[in-house]
Amino acid sequence: MTPDNALLANIAPARPRARSGLRELLRSRDGAAAIEFAMLAIPYFLIVFAIIETFVAFTAEQVVSNAVDTLARQIRTGQITSDPNKTSYTKSQQFRQAFCNEIAVLITCSASELQTPASLYLDVESYSSFASMPTTIPRKSSTDPYSDLNTSGFTFAPGGAKSLNMVRAYYRWQVITDLLRPYLTNVRPSDGSASVYLIVATAAFQNENYP
């Protein structure tokens, strides 16, 4: 056998081995789970965060709604009045403090929040009839459904015995997840400030004929 033939004899058996290695590489599943997880991780965590955000926001709504019901009941029964001649006389600041105490289980009012509303807005007014009570959220723009809250007319002026009253509470709830903020928020200011989910709770009632 010539040297060239001997060299070819040594190389020839390696070809099937190379083709076999290529087939094994193509059939290999190493790392497939990691790639699949990377593809599914973003939508998976978006769903998880959406569930958590929605659950917490819903819980906050219930807390604010319960606080409105509690304070409205006290106004209806004369435990809270705006008459300085009564022992139940309550100032606006005291009413805010009482409301904050009711929602403290989930929402904390800072000292600055008690003095100057930045997230929690309360409006207590008396009306001549139920028909004259507002039925929509007061916004700064009548044409933009996502405009900010208009609080210019908010006050604390509950009526006396047998009067018709409405208690309205609005809380600017912060949405933590950036990717979900455009879908969960209902206040999107045009000035570029952060969008929020506006929690709304309302109670309309007639006061009892208390002394």
Give domain status of residue 167, yes or no: yes
Q: What was the pLDDT predicted at 83? A: 93
Percentage of the chain beyond pLDDT 70 is 84
Helix, strand, coil fractions of the chain, as percent rounded to 5: 45, 15, 40
pLDDT range class, residue 23, cuts 50, 70, 90: low
Percentage of the chain beyond pLDDT 90 is 64
Q: What was the pLDDT predicted at 140? A: 92
Residue found under tokens 């659950």 = 55
Q: What is the CB-side half-sphere exposure of residue 39 using CA atoms within 13 A?
A: 6
Give domain status of residue 51, yes or no: yes
Pairwise CA distance, residues 55 & 175, whole Å: 12
Q: Is 67 exposed, middle or buried (0-12, 13-18, 19+ CB in 10 A)?
A: buried
Give domain status of residue 14, yes or no: no
Q: Domain range holding 50? A: 37-206
Give domain status of residue 22, yes or no: no
Query: Does residue 24 surpass a pLDDT of 60?
Result: yes
pLDDT in tens, 134-192: 999 999 998 999 999 999 999 999 999 999 999 999 999 999 888 778 888 999 988 77
Give domain status of residue 15, yes or no: no
Q: What was the pLDDT predicted at 68? A: 98
Sign (positive or negative) of CA dihedral 134, 140, 145, 149: negative
Q: What was the pLDDT predicted at 179? A: 77
- Quick check: 105 and 63 in contact, CB under 8 A? yes
pLDDT range class, residue 3, cuts 50, 70, 90: low
CA distances, 19 to each of 9, 13, 23, 25, 78 (Å): 18, 11, 6, 10, 91
Question: Residue 69 is encoded by which pair of tokens?
Answer: 């019901």
pLDDT in tens, 99-134: 999 999 999 999 999 999 999 999 999 999 999 999
Give domain status of residue 149, yes or no: yes
Instruction: State which of 2-6, 24-28, 121-125 shows the largest mean pLDDT.
Output: 121-125
Packing angle, helices 92-103 and 32-76, rounded to 10: 140
Give domain status of residue 47, yes or no: yes
Give domain status of residue 100, yes or no: yes
The domain total for the chain is 1
